[in-house]
Structure 1
Amino acid sequence: MLKKYGIIGLIIIVLVEINFFLKIEPLASLYFPLIWFSYILVIDALVYKIRKNSLINNHFFSFIGLFVLSIFFWYTFEFLNIFVKNWEYIGTEGLGSFQELFKVISFSTVLPAFFETSSLIKSIHLFDKIKLKRKYNFSKSLLYIMIILGIFCFFLPIFFPRFTFPLIWLSFFLLLDPINYMNKQPSVIGHLKDKNISTPLSLLLAGIILGFLWEFWNYWAVIKWKYDIPFVGFFKIFEMPVLGYLGYFPFALELYAMYWFFRSLFTYRNEALI
């Protein structure tokens, strides 16, 4: 049996899906944050049922911290979007003075949904049998090269947005993952060095699963985003051009690197979240 909060989450998801057709307000306008908070509750309950350990039950303060950091992280991407102009929000005018609050609440769900989904994938041991045959060593010079590339990937879309916009989905991984590794924080580089491919693969799969769900649930929402992506704006699945889904893979690694970097600024303790 699922934890009670997981059952409540399931019920809310069903009701919100039914309201696709009924369009009862204010539920219709609040659809996106409602369904994502419910998703987070359901996935956490599933993780706890499988391994008797979950973010809500065993790492509650870290769980709350995910929401706070998620807001900050996504506003960073909103800043970059000022230059690349790859997406815009429609339908927010009906919210009046609550527009910004709605965005904050919606943005807060990104990181918790990502770590919960990664935890679920790890819980079912999907990639545990896949092993790297050798360790991958990263020299200090290579780590510094990655950091420099990350800085370039951050600034190039600001100055040359039309041709370099995809780099925003790689910049923070290149910039922060080497720093995490050098500071002995969890990192993709560290996992590869330890021949642990299971965690990076879980992160990548979580990224594309969430990407699909973000686009699916956004497509039906009253308040939603639409894309304007140069060169690859053809053959859309929901609102996202099919090639755009590839961006969810580096975005997943980026979220992981950003989280552990900013967490390390406040505490050195690195409890396993997935």
Structure 2
Amino acid sequence: MTNVQELIELIALKEITPTQFEGLSSFVGSPNVFGGQVLAQAINAATRTITNKRVLHSMHSYFLEAGNLELPIVYNVSIIRDGGSFSVRRVTAEQNGLTIFILSASFQIIEEGYNHQVEINKSIKQPEELMSWTEILDQFGEVIPKKTKGFLEADRPVEFKPVELANPFNKEDLPAFTNIWFKLKGDTTNLDLATKQQILTYVSDYNILAAVMNRHASKAHWGNTQTASLDHSMWYFRDFDFDDWLLYAIDSPNAAGARGFAKGNIFTRDGKLIASVAQEGLLRPK
């Protein structure tokens, strides 16, 4: 999967019944199904049952089992409520009859109201000043740890440019935050809002636990720590386009009990806040 069109095809599920859908998986560097893929496909399934033009404004989910890349995933949608302003859907994802993931999503009529947002960090380096994952791999591939190198070598439809580039050989704790610019590969014109939200959800599962790992970088790394997304929540605020780089600003307020918590804001380059994300993940020292 190398461009946005292939990503859209992956997210767009096959309809089995009006409330049941089936999806396939794509390898992104992990032996298990990528969490962002399941998130995006589940949102696609929920959105397909919305017939009153309501717009997704939030979702909350739990990852229950690791997904098998070789098996299709079946998404079952329950229509929980269609109220005067809001519609709620519940989605379960299954493989071989085993529930691997659950999600609740809420949709709202388009309304006007009060408006404010947190400001983007205006002093942050711009994408043109930074190296992409591809460029980092090309320049430092011979010294990058094997697990990280294997992850970076996987084809993906999005390019990332980290603002803070840590040296993995410097065993020192880092601040519990990370900022990363991202941009889709391929033609992103004429995408409807629902499709853009599903793509943004897919991308939101990348990089978020790195902010937790940074705080313990003197002893913890991806090779000696068992990691997995446990839950994932997201709030969608404003319409946007993928025609320029977007900034994912992530920080980690807490780690305890072999779990790490991180939250992030996603901005357009001109500073419009389009979504916020929260996730708790497993960080178990091996």
Instruction: Report the TM-score when normalising by structure 2.
Output: 0.28
Whichever structure has more strand as a proportion of its residues is 2
TM-score with structure 1 setting the length: 0.29
> As a proportion of its length, which structure holds more helix?
1
